[in-house]
Amino acid sequence: MLKKSSLALWGAALFIAWNGLLLLFLWSRPPSPASSSSGEGDRLTAEVIRLAQDAETELERQKDLLRQIHRYSGLWGRRRGLRLTPAPPPPPPSPPPPRPTDPAGAVLPVLVMACDRSTVRRCLDKLLRYRPSAQRFPVIVSQDCGHAETARVIASYGDAVAHIRQPDLSDIPVPAEHRKFQGYYKIARHYRWALGQVFRTFRYRAAIVVEDDLEVAPDFFEYFQAAFPLLLADRSLWCVSAWNDNGKEQMVDVGQAELLYRTDFFPGLGWLLLAELWDELEPKWPRAFWDDWMRQPEQRRDRSCVRPEVSRTMTFGRKGVSHGQFFDQYLKFIKLNDRFVPFTQLDLSYLKKEEYERSFLPKVYAAPEVRVEELQGNRRRELGAVRLQYSGRDSFKAFAKALGLMDDLKSGVPRAGYRGIVSFVYRGRRVYLAPPSDWTGYDPSWS
C-alpha cells in the first residue's frame, strides 16, 4: 500500500515538474518576428497549458485513489482488531503473533466444533449474547460432516461468526475391532484440522475450544480473559478449563463461584490452550480418542489445568458418538454458573504452582479425617471441612461411588483431582477425598 502511494506521488511530482520546466522554457524564449512563428508559439503555449491542466486533473485522481486506499486500510485494520499507524513501515508478511501482556487487549478466538447438530444455535446464541467484544473474541465455527441443515443454521449468523468447513469427509480406515468407533476417528481428524486452521492459517496466539452442544455462563469470557495471563506465566499449567467434572449442583458451593483450582485431570468441555501447546501436540496428534490421549502421562508431562468450583459450561447434547455415556448419570446435572464474577479484577496468583501448594495442601491435610459412614450419616458437623482418606484404587472407587462422584480414573488421575485430592461439597460441607500425605505420584495401572 505504501509503495503504491509513493509511486503515485513521485509520478505526479515528476509530471508537474517537467511541465513547469517546459513552460519556463517557452515563456523565456525571445519573440519571433515572423507572425507565423508567433502563432505557432501561441499554439504551443496553449498546448502546454492544456497538458498542465490534464496533469492537475490526473493529480486529483491520484489523490482520490490514495484517499480510498487509506480508507480501506483503516477498515481492514479495524476488522482485524488492529490500530492503523501510517508512520512506521509495515511489518514483514505473516509475522508470528506477538505475545500479549495485557489481558484486556488479548485476542482469544472461540473455536466451535460442529458437525450435524442444528442445535448449535443454542451454543452460538449464548456465545454472542455474552461476548463483550467481537474484536477480542472472534467466533470461528468449524463444521465437519457436511450436514446441510447445520450449515444453514451457522450461515444464518452472517458476519457474526466465521464458518469454516473440514474438507475431508471420507471414511477413515480403522482396525476391524474399531469399526464402531469410526466417529471418534473423525472427531480426532476434525480437531487436528480445525486447530491447524486457528494456529497455522489464522496464526492466533491462543484459542478457546468449545463443542457445539455446550452452553456458556455469563462470565465465560471474563473467566478466560483473566486466566490467560496465568497460563502464559506459569509453565506448569497447560490449559484452562470451564468445566468441573464433579460440578453437580449439590456438590459445589455456589456461594463461592469465584473459587478456582488446579487439576491434574484434563477436563476439556470449554478449554483454553496456547499456540505453543499445539506446536507440541500436532506432530503426534492421535487418530482417535484425542481427549483420553491428552490425559496420558506422555502428553500431560506433570502439567495441570485450571478449573472452576462452579462450571462455566454445561452440555445439552445427549446425542453424539458416545451415545449419552455419563449424560443421564452426571452431565445433565452439572450446575452452570449464573452469577457474573469479575475475574479480571481478582488476584489469581494463588493458582501459581508454588503458592498453590503452600496454601492448598496444608489446608487439606489439616482437615480432620472422618469415615465415609460419618459423612453419609451427616455426623460430626461441628468439624467443618473434613478429609476422607483412600489408600488405593479400590478404596477410591468405593468412596467415590458412595458419595456420588465420578469414579473413573484416566492414567491413574481422578477427575478434578490435584495430587490425588478431589475437593467437593457433600451435604453442605467441604470434603477432601485425598490420598495419604506422603503421596508420591499417580499409578497409571489404576485406570
Burial class (CB in 10 A: 0-12, 13-18, 19+), 119: middle
Measured CA to CA, the distance from residue 215 to residue 314 in angstroms comes to: 5
For residue 211, which of 307, 80, 322 has the smallest C-alpha distance?
322
Contact by Cβ (8 Å): 1, 75: no
Measured CA to CA, the distance from residue 72 to residue 62 in angstroms comes to: 15
Three-state DSSP state, 413: strand
For residue 274, which of 231, 220, 225, 221 has the smallest C-alpha distance?
231
Measured CA to CA, the distance from residue 109 to residue 221 in angstroms comes to: 10
Contact by Cβ (8 Å): 110, 89: no
Name the residue type at position 210.
Answer: V
> Which residue blocks in 282-324 are alpha helix, DSSP H?
290-294, 297-300
Consecutive H or E run containing 398: helix 393-403
Three-state DSSP state, 339: coil
Residues 291, 292, 407, 443: which is the catalytic one?
A: 291
408 counts as catalytic:
no
Contact by Cβ (8 Å): 375, 427: yes
* Neighbour tally for 230: CB within 10 Å: 17
For residue 434, which of 352, 359, 366 has the smallest C-alpha distance?
366
Contact by Cβ (8 Å): 386, 368: yes
Q: Which residues are catalytic?
A: 291
